[in-house]
Structure 1
Amino acid sequence: MDEPSYNVDGTNTRRKLVSVKEKHNFKKALKAITKPRC
């Protein structure tokens, strides 16, 4: 019964990684919006 729990942990870790990536992209986009274009 270790396999399913490991699988769930893997998906959770992947989701966390994606959320961090999205947050980084959001910050980047916000910075781009705040910074005036030359």
Structure 2
Amino acid sequence: YLVAKCGVLIMSLFVFFTTTMSVSFTLRETQSRMLKFT
């Protein structure tokens, strides 16, 4: 039971981390594109 709980926690943390990374990457790309466009 405890092991399953830890696994779920690690999985959610991993998903959260990947989402944050992709979002920040997209934001950076959009910013650079906007700067080039203007």
Instruction: Please confirm whether the aligned pair reaches a TM-score higher than 0.5, indicating the same fold.
Output: yes
The yes-or-no answer on 1:16 pairing with 2:23 is: yes
**Structure 1 stretches of at least 4 aligned residues deviating more than 6 Å after TM superposition:** none
Q: How does 1:22-37 map to 2 (within 5 A)?
A: 22-31=29-38
- Structure 2 unpaired stretches of 5+: 1-7
**Secondary structure of residue in 2 paired with 1:27:** helix
Q: Point out the structure with the larger helix share.
A: 2
Q: CA RMSD in A?
A: 0.6
Identity value in percent: 16
- Structure 1 unpaired stretches of 5+: 32-38
Aligned residues: 31
